[in-house]
Amino acid sequence: MKSFLVLILVTASMSLFARVTPEEFNAISHLRDGEFKSQLRSLLSKDQRSLGYKEAKKVMFEKLDNFGGEVCGVYSANYCLKTRSIPNNSAMNTEHTWPQSMGAVGIAKSDLHHLFPTKSSINSTRSNYPFCYVTDVKWEGKVSKMGRDSRGTQCFEVPDFHKGNVARAMFYFAVRYSKNLDADQEKVLREWNEIDPVDDAEIEREKKIENHQNNTNLFVLHPEIINQISDI
């Protein structure tokens, strides 16, 4: 009951700032699969403003993820830098959750909904590998791993506290930019969406992104909608 009440309160608070109106969302909420994805894509792109990559990085490091002059990397346990602007690229840089080499180009390259600060060396380790549960470890940090999954695919596992954020960023990107996820990665991301639910910090970050970029990641506001898409 407590979890249910929390969900109601979170949903109510989220509706207060979303660029997509409840009426617009409700109009497509009964749809599924291809028809739902098509209509959802229109809502995800609604009013989107491209900041350009330099400005997007500036917003991320100065506004989205800067708390008291400190920015922490999402793939690390306690790797934080004292900075009030874009830091030295050799220490911390911008992670494209959906890799640039896999299609994060043009307006997508600067889309804040999938950009996060990371320790540069770990970002390089992640490379453009898909996300997974690593079973054969080739590299291991305090909370992240790189290696192979049970099927032998080279891949990267993010910290538990960032698993849901990654899943919802990937779902958003795939639908917004008409990309496909391979079945193995999609299965993992669906599970991460469940085991690491949306928290206050993710909601606050979404609010900030909307204020700068003007569009909404509905997978953060309504994480259950992934169940209306059988193959993303």
* Whether residue 150 has pLDDT greater than 50: yes
Please state the domain count of the chain. Answer: 1
pLDDT at 119: 99
Average pLDDT along the chain? 94
141: helix, coil or strand?
coil
The size of the chain, in residues, is 232
Q: Are 179 and 1 in contact (CB under 8 A)?
A: no
Give the side-chain half-sphere CA count within 13 A for 24: 14
Cα 31 from Cα 169, distance rounded (Å)? 21
Q: How far apart are CA 197 and CA 183, in angstroms?
A: 21
Under 8 Å between Cβ of 98 and 128 = no
Residues 22-56 have pLDDT tens digits of 999 999 999 999 999 999 999 999 999 999 999 99
| Token pair recorded at residue 54 | 């330099």
pLDDT at 18 (0 to 100): 65
The one-character DSSP state at 63 is I
Using one digit for the tens of pLDDT, what is the confidence trace for 155-200? 999 999 999 999 999 999 999 999 999 999 999 999 999 999 999 9
Residue 4, pLDDT > 70, answer no
Q: What range does the domain containing 66 cover?
A: 2-228
What is the per-residue pLDDT for 19?
Answer: 85
Q: Which are the contacts of 155, defined by CB distance < 8 A and separation ≥ 6?
A: 129, 130, 131, 132, 134, 146, 147, 148, 149, 185
SS3 content of the chain, % helix, strand, coil (to 5): 50, 15, 35
Look at residue 189 in the predicted model and tell me its pLDDT: 99
Kindly list the distances between the CA atom of residue 154 and the CA atoms of 6, 126, 135, 148, 189, in Å, as whole numbers in the listed order: 38, 10, 10, 4, 16
Asked if residue 16 has pLDDT above 50, the reply is no
Residue 18's closest CA among 228, 221, 168, 198? 221
User: pTM, whole model, 2 decimals?
Assistant: 0.92
Nearest CA-CA partner of 198 in 226, 157, 175, 178: 226
Q: Where are the alpha helices (DSSP H) in 16-52?
A: 22-26, 33-45
Residue 213 has pLDDT above 80, yes or no: yes
Query: Mind listing the pLDDT tens digit for each residue in 57-93?
Result: 999 999 999 999 999 999 999 999 999 999 999 999 9
pLDDT surpassing 70 at residue 17: no
